[in-house]
A and B are shown apart, each in its own frame.
Chain A
């Protein structure tokens, strides 16, 4: 069964460093998302991406965050200058069409020290 793939599974970084989280959505999917889950808290929406542009972003997704689809297969989330409070599990998700169900990757656990 096709799946959303995320790399790395764990990322440790120093505060102030840039990180790039990578995702390979399911190949025929058109809508892409990033969510995050801080330990013990709800899964929160960060950003949605369609037709090579951001469709919607939450208040969490400030100027330190950016997303990119550099080629036909990858979808990346960049955090320019990480803060301690960016430590969380980051989930990528994709879906085929507007009314289709959402598939999640297994997540990247980001730890900012």
Chain B
């Protein structure tokens, strides 16, 4: 079955870049997503990439997709303390008339002052 894997923890210094990595197994994935979850809050869609793209940039966020290796990464430039949160990678797959997401376990990003 499909699976999405992420490392559990990442610590960076404020002002540095953060890179959160994700691997997935489903080659039929169409969209890949990055969600942010702050303590006690819901899932905030940060960015997403369609599977026929290699890269997407959105302000401080850069998503890289290596479809051959089924590897997705999220780079946050100039990381701030407000970026501390859990970041979830998710992939969507086709399932009949609906598509549902498979999530990774989340990466806890800690930004140190």
- A98 contacts B99, C-beta separation under 8 Å: yes
Give the size category of A's interface with B. Answer: 20 to 34
Hey, which chain A residues are within 8 Å of B90, CB to CB?
A: 43
Give chain A's interface secondary structure class. strand
Hey, which chain A residues are within 8 Å of B35, CB to CB?
A: 104
Alpha-carbon distance A55/B103, docked complex (angstroms): 19
Give the size category of B's interface with A. Answer: 20 to 34
Which positions in B face A, CB cutoff 8 Å?
30-31, 33, 35, 41-45, 48, 88, 90, 92, 95-106
User: Can you list 24 A-B contacts (CB < 8 A)?
Assistant: A31-B99, A42-B105, A42-B106, A43-B103, A44-B103, A45-B100, A48-B95, A48-B100, A50-B97, A50-B98, A51-B97, A55-B97, A55-B98, A56-B98, A91-B42, A98-B97, A98-B99, A101-B31, A101-B45, A102-B33, A102-B45, A102-B92, A105-B42, A106-B41
